[in-house]
Homo-oligomer: A and B are copies of this chain.
Amino acid sequence: MKASFNPSLYLVTDSTMVSITELPTIVEKCVLGGVTMVQLREKTASTRAFVSIAFQLKEILAKYHVPLIINDRIDVALAIDADGIHIGQDDMPYHIARRILGPDKIIGLSVESYKQVEEANLLDVDYIGISPVFNTPTKTDTKTTFGIEGVEKIVAMSKHRTVAIGGIHLDNARPIIKAGANGVAVVSALMKATDPKKEAQKFKEIL
């Protein structure tokens, strides 16, 4: 059976911001502060290093019953029996991903246009990632930002749960939830925080 999940405060890791060896500590602090879901995104490590860090995070997150989602790499997700994957439009096509992972894994899909929201409505994805809401330095390959109005429009259009991502920090998180999104995905605001636990707590208070 598919695990239930709460995407309200969704941490997305970025090992270009911190060294991969620091990730377990930072992730655990974020969870202690209230992060409800974690996505491991790793674009440069070897498969072996990716699997190794994924195992470490899985062990930590299991203690807190926080789901671990792997970005893009279904092989890594299978290796560690992760809770699910998150795919973008350049990653594995959804139908193939679902066939490989089966019905019980969480699959999130990034949408970067309203047309892609409509296409996602035809799929049984578990949530869509509205990407990007705001301008962000961590993703340079996306073109237009949706803004709060875009989030409102997508929430109305989509039959799926929605998580907003892109340039989200303490000052702009609240309007996203007010616009109806089920969660905010946060990268640098948590990864780069001096005190990740306290920062996550502040997000919790706002949301």
Contact = CB atoms under 8 A, between A and B. Distances in A.
A56 to B, nearest CB: 15
Interface stretch (A8-16, A92-100, A106-114, A148-156): A92-100
Complex copy number for this chain: 2
A127 B51 CA distance: 23
A46 interface: yes
Interface of A: 46-49, 51, 72-75, 78-79, 87, 89-93, 96, 100
Nearest to A92: B47
Contact of A47 (B46, B79, B91): B91
A57 to B, nearest CB: 16
Nearest to A48: B90
A109 B141 CA distance: 35
A161 to B, nearest CB: 24
A197 B193 CA distance: 57
B100 A79 contact: yes
Contact of A92 (B75, B89, B100): B75
Nearest to A87: B47
A74 B92 CA distance: 12
21 contacts: A46-B90, A46-B91, A47-B72, A47-B73, A47-B87, A47-B91, A48-B90, A48-B91, A48-B93, A51-B96, A73-B75, A74-B75, A74-B78, A75-B75, A75-B78, A75-B92, A75-B100, A78-B100, A79-B92, A79-B96, A79-B100
